[in-house]
Every structure is written in structure tokens, then in C-alpha cells.
Amino acid sequence: MSQGPLSAKLFAAAKQIIPGGVNSPVRAFRNVGGEPFFVRRAKGCRIWDVDDREMIDYVGTWGPAILGHAPVPVIEAIHNAAKEGVSFGIPNPYEVEMARLICEWVPSIQKVRMVNSGTEATMSAIRLARGFTKRDRIVKFEGCYHGHVDSLLVAAGSGALTHGRPDSAGVPSAFADLTTILPLNDVEALESLFAAQGGGIAAIIVEPYPANAGLILPKPGFLQKLRDITAKHGALLIFDEVMTGFRLAKGGVQEIEKITPDLTCLGKVIGGGLPVGAFGGRADIMDILAPDGPVYQAGTLSGNPVAMAAGLAQLRELQKQNGFARLEELGQMMETSVLDALKATGRDYQWYRRGSMFCLFFTGKPVHNLADAKSADLAAFRKFFHHCLDNGVYFAPSQFETGFISMAHAKEDIARTAEVAAAALRAL
């Protein structure tokens, strides 16, 4: 029962005027069967569809809603900023405040440029890395999704993986030819590549905790190996922390793992739910961006005052509420409940979590890379997903996505979720 009658009517209309009826492919429910519902409103950790069905939400706008939906400080900040004008195309004070906060919280970032999406951030970081090193080749890892950038939409995760087409039509082979794809956590393949082509590699781009093929964690020492080998060969290391930045710690994964990348891509949480991205890093690299340098990047809405105000309000509230400690507490509660349910039902599915991000892979095989993730039992996941949805718990409609807990989730919400999930596992 993915749809009520009003959602069905809206989806039928949407399919006539929007490709596939959705504005982002993973929303289409192709991986789980059925058709999507339409949301009327959201508050806290709950969403209500147009048919007034209430659900506990673990998608959280795919990550940005770290305080929950429609948090008062963010809504007030949006209202106050919008009263003064929703866009200027001229520098505004909010973007300076946001840049200062990002540089303060993420020590590897000495200078930062605001953009409008995570895709725009990764695209710009890749161009900057090529311009700085005067090299062309980029290295990425299977299952890591860095937005729909032509040169990076190769062996991708997220929606591309969900729909069974990791590579997109419309990407010229010449673009893809400049991208080398490696298996995640494979040090031997990494070393072989750099031994053969190290002098031509501009950068490695990686999700330090890959979260677009489920949540896959790096093996001990793997991120440090990336840092060491790029430094040795004069390539840059780019951390795509669009998902993890300000979600797991003030300084993101690089703070947790004590790794210093050359460039970092951000998004999601820093927008408070509005379209925002950013990329930043070492000053000597950032200084070759236009207008000071030869690498061109621009955006009419970059540093939008309403988006900057929303993001600042969210980050300050997160700090005020000691958010990362609270989210770890909620994440641990969820983990204990899930592991208990797996044990009680005799399932050997693989559970991974860091802070408020989590994934349950429907496979008995430990997941260290994309091939491991694709061993998941998708039929079992479909049954699990629909059982949970029918009982008021909304997880992402794909095995290959990460779940998100927010500050608005209460212990009672976690307990109810565990109860529903356990019943879903028993029903498989």
C-alpha cells in the first residue's frame, strides 16, 4: 500500500508532465515496486502524505533534516531573511558568516566557495583539482556517488545503482575515459594504478564513508593510504562529505578519522533543507579559482541569503543542543534494537552504523565494496520495506541508500520502529 487515492491521482498527473513522474529517480519506487506517495507536510521526525497517513521518517530529506523537519530556529531564520529579500546576486553578510563557520569547524578548509548543490560542489572540485595539478585523470571508487557529473557518473551509487544503470547514457566516452574506477577498500589495485599512472592523476575523489550504495565503511588504514599515496604522487585528495559533513561530527569524517584532505565537498546539512553546496580546502588551491585565478566557476544563486540563514541557524542549533552526542545516543539505541531483532529472527543480515547514519544490508556477507552490497536479497528488502511502510515507518525505497536519524526522533520513536522492523523480519 505505497499509495492512497490522492497520491495515485497526483502520480498519474505527474507522469504526464514530469519524466517518470518524479524529479529525482530514486523517488520512483522502481527498486521496491509500487508507486510513490506524495507528502503534504512534515514536522519533527514525522511526515504526512496527501491522504493523511502519518509515518516516522528515516529519509530526512536524504540527510539535511538533522534537527528534524521544520525546526523552529530554521523556519524563523528563513522568515527573517526572506523579509529582506530572497535573492540579490550581490554579496551578502550571511555568506561570510557561513564561510567563517565552515572554516572554523573543518580545519582542512582554509577557504570555501558556496554553490547550490552537492553535484555542483563535486563538479567544481574536480575542475579545480585538474587546474591546480595540470593533470586530467580522476580516480573514483565503485559505488561512490558524487552527483550527476558526467565524468563521475561511472560505476556510481544512489539512484543510478537503484535503477540498474550505474553508467548513464549521454556521457561521452571521452569523459569517462579520463575517470579510473577502483574497487573500494582494495589497496593492491590502488597501488598498481599509481605505480603505472601516478604522474597523470589529478585527484582521488571518495566518500570517506560511502553512503550511496548503502553505508559502506572503509577498512582500517584505507583512508590513510589514500592520503599517503596522493601526497607521494602529487595528486590531490578530495573528500566528498556532502552526506557526512556536519552530520557525524563538527569536522566530518576527516575529524573522526584524523585525515586531512586537500579539498572537501559539502552540502545537505549546511542548507537547513534548502538547496546548498560548498567546496573548500587549502588556500593555495582555492586561490586559483576565478576571479583571482584561471579556473572558472560561477553561480547566480550561490550564497543565497535565505539558504545561508537557514544553514547557519541549523548548525548553531546543532551545537547548542550538543547534537552529535545526542545523535550517537539515538543511533546506538537503534543499533541495539536492530541487532536484537536480527538475533531473535535468526537473520544474519549485515548492519552498519556511524552516528545517526545506518544501513541494514539484506545479505549474510560482510559488505566492504559495491560487489558485496549487490549480493543483497532485494526481494526480501522489498517485503521488509512495504511491511514497514504499511505500519507507519518510512525507510528509503532502495536497499542501496542510507538511513538518517534526526534530533527530533525520541526514544519512543526508535522503540516503535524496532517493533515494526522486527515484525517485518519475522514476516519474511
Give catalytic residues, as residue numbers: 145, 240, 268
Q: At what angle do helices 323-345 and 305-320 cross, to 10 degrees?
A: 70
CB 407 within 8 A of CB 314: no
Burial class (CB in 10 A: 0-12, 13-18, 19+), 395: buried
Distances (CA, A) of 302 to 88, 102, 146, 201, 294: 10, 15, 19, 29, 19
- Going through 71-188 in order, the beta strands assigned E by DSSP cover 111-115, 137-141, 179-182
Q: Alpha carbon of 269 to those of 28, 107, 163, 224, 386: distances in Å?
A: 24, 18, 26, 26, 28
Q: Tell me 428's DSSP state.
A: -
End-to-end Cα spacing for the chain? 17
Q: At what angle do helices 222-233 and 187-197 cross, to 10 degrees?
A: 10
Q: Is 61 helix (H, G, I), strand (E, B) or coil?
A: helix
Q: Where are the alpha helices (DSSP H) in 265-304?
A: 283-286
CA dihedral 358, 362, 364, 367 (to 10 degrees): -50
